Amino acid sequence: MALGASTMTVLATLPLGDWQFWVASVIALGALWVVINSVVPEGWLPWKRKPKQTKASLTISAKKKNEG
């Protein structure tokens, strides 16, 4: 996929060497995570899905100790 000239200009102007850019980016990603987790239904989020529950068939003997 080729990037257009305007996209390349925007990418070239990002302050990648500035530590404040990275701190702000991490804070923004954290805020996006919080918004997604609170707005999107749980069934749509793969990290919130409950594992499939399997029913175990248990057999318990009803015999008393003194019965044969």
Given a cut of 60, is residue 1 above it in pLDDT? Answer: no
Amino acid residing at 15? P
Which amino acid, one-letter code, is at 55? K
Going from the C-alpha of 39 to that of each of 4, 28, 45, the distances in angstroms are 33, 16, 11
Q: Measuring CA to CA, which residue among 33, 52, 51 is closest to residue 25?
A: 33
| pLDDT tens by residue, 7-66 | 778 778 888 899 999 999 999 999 999 998 888 887 777 767 666 777 776 667 666 666
Output the pLDDT for position 44.
77
pLDDT in the model for residue 22: 94
Which pLDDT does position 19 carry in this prediction? Answer: 95
